[in-house]
A = this chain, B = another copy of it.
Amino acid sequence: MSDIEQLLEELRRFNQERDWDQFHNGKDLAIGLSIEASELLELFLWKDPEAVNQDKIREELADVLNYAFQIADKYGLDIKEIMREKIRRNAEKYPVEKARGSAKKYNEL
Contact = CB atoms under 8 A, between A and B. Distances in A.
B11 A87 contact: yes
A44 to B, nearest CB: 4
Contacts of A23: 46, 103
Nearest to A11: B87
A109 to B, nearest CB: 11
Interface in A60-109: 61-66, 68-69, 71-72, 75, 77, 79-80, 82-87, 90-91, 94, 96, 99-101, 103
A101 B103 CA distance: 33
Q: Is the interface of A mostly helix, strand, loop or mixed?
A: helix
What is the copy number of this chain in the assembly?
4
B91 A69 contact: no
Question: Which range holds the interface residue count of chain A?
Answer: 35 or more
Interface of A: 2-4, 6-7, 10-11, 14, 17-20, 22-23, 25-28, 30-49, 52, 54, 57-59, 61-66, 68-69, 71-72, 75, 77, 79-80, 82-87, 90-91, 94, 96, 99-101, 103
